[in-house]
Structure 1
């Protein structure tokens, strides 16, 4: 049976204005798919990359990669979920900005009853990102001091709490004193307002010149070289986003001259590509949230029809914590 759903579609790349609210027809799920009635949808900076064309995709296309809702139907061969399951997800294909969608069942995980749909939609991409960053890309241990850029963003606030929970000291960079207070309240040991302070000099001072073993950088062009300057010899540079623009080409000698540094450009979708890994990552995230050690701060809620405004405010760095669309 075909149903009509409101959804955001992109027919050309560009600014927030290319996000169009349209009616789409949603039929029965194909083999391997599930039809999900969405109660809430997450908004993430990666959505901007797809909308702007920074991450290419075939057009026309949907928007959004994260949501939570209830399974209404399943296609042939689906074993991951059943009709009636409460589920959440983060992953491709894009198309989360919708009331109803058919999607690969393999990226859906069952959402515990203790976690509401809004939290589920807001936490999956950002929470799973923190899970792999702090546990697998570089295994942060109790007593470590780490540098995390954009500490008051959705990923950053989760990272502040997660680091505190495992006994690590997180130095967070922020763009305002207000955002600094949010990061400190979430568990950051120190904050650096990069609009008033040189973050490299502050990291050196805070670590008595020792620097840090790992830097997590989602800012990109504006912070890249400074981030390298904050690393100890044999340290790990984790470049997982480019909010200020892509990292420009650089010589590998930049890594050698600073003490044989390591660098990686990880993505959630590589870390969660295997179903067993996805389920283990989600279970750890759900446990952290259910225990209260990590709280998901949803500080912006928008109607589905106002997706363009949501993107404009996200790009202007007017948002803190997590943002969601309500279909």
Structure 2
């Protein structure tokens, strides 16, 4: 199961996709005929490579996938890696590694045979293509949002929050114990501010490195 942390300060950045004039209805068809708005990268480089396209083709449903009508997209440092070409994606592509919204259509193959997800479910996901009205997402990448968690909070927890969670709970293979010192490099970054707080919850004594300009924020999260 996925935990959405509620006892840590949220340091993630989101953009609302309301400027895309999102439709509010559920479209149950497996083939969406209308086009979508999306941010598209046709060439690698700086922020000027991000182009808003008004007639980008709507994704077509494939086995093992769902089409998500996005409401929020997360802004993460990994997005700059794709934009610059440090992480590879075939051009042209829609950036954005984290998003959330409503399931508009979902395949009926055996990937979803336990009916975990249904049209109309509110979900978050972590896969390339979130800077758009609609994103085709593997069902295995979907996480259903609990009713007591708002969608903006759930989206902001996904990439940075879950990364910090596994780094502070499992990746160290039990080598860290309660009251051990935990050194976090670049603790002023978004993910590492999450990690500092989660490490404190685990009972570690946290110290970190950061620039002087971020020292106050780092102290606020307990490092």
**TM-score range, shorter-chain basis?**
0.7 to 0.9
Distance 1:150 1:123 in 2: 19
* C-alpha displacement of 1:28: 4.2
Higher helix proportion, which one? 1
Distance 1:89 1:125 in 2: 9
* C-alpha displacement of 1:64: 1.1
Q: Which moved more, 1:124-133 or 1:27-36?
A: 27-36
Tell me what 1:83 maps to: 119
* Structure 2 residues not aligned, in runs of 5+: 1-31
Distance 2:78 2:135 in 1: 20
1:78-227 pair list within 5 angstroms: 78-79=111-112, 80-91=116-127, 94-138=128-172, 139=174, 140-177=176-213, 179-188=214-223
Misfit runs of 4+, over 6 Å: none
Tell me what 1:19 maps to: 50
Distance 2:158 2:123 in 1: 11
Tell me what 1:2 maps to: 33
> Alignment partner of 2:170: what SS?
helix
CA offset digits 1:204-259 (Å, max 9, x no partner): xxxxxxxxxxxxxxxxxxxxxxxxxxxxxxxxxxxxxxxxxxxxxxxxxxxxxxxx
* C-alpha displacement of 1:141: 2.5
1:35-46 pair list within 5 angstroms: 35-46=67-78
Q: Do the aligned partners of 1:38 and 1:100 also contact (CA within 8 Å) in 2?
A: yes
Q: CA RMSD in A?
A: 1.5
* C-alpha displacement of 1:155: 0.4
CA offset digits 1:87-106 (Å, max 9, x no partner): 11123xx2111121122111
1:267-278 pair list within 5 angstroms: none
Q: Which has the higher contact order (CA 8 A, sep 6+)?
A: 2
Q: Do the aligned partners of 1:28 and 1:73 also contact (CA within 8 Å) in 2?
A: no
Distance 1:103 1:2 in 2: 18
Bigger radius of gyration: 1
Distance 1:141 1:185 in 2: 23
Query: TM-score normalized by structure 2?
Result: 0.78
> Alignment partner of 2:51: what SS?
strand
1:63 paired to 2:102: no
**Count, aligned residues:** 185
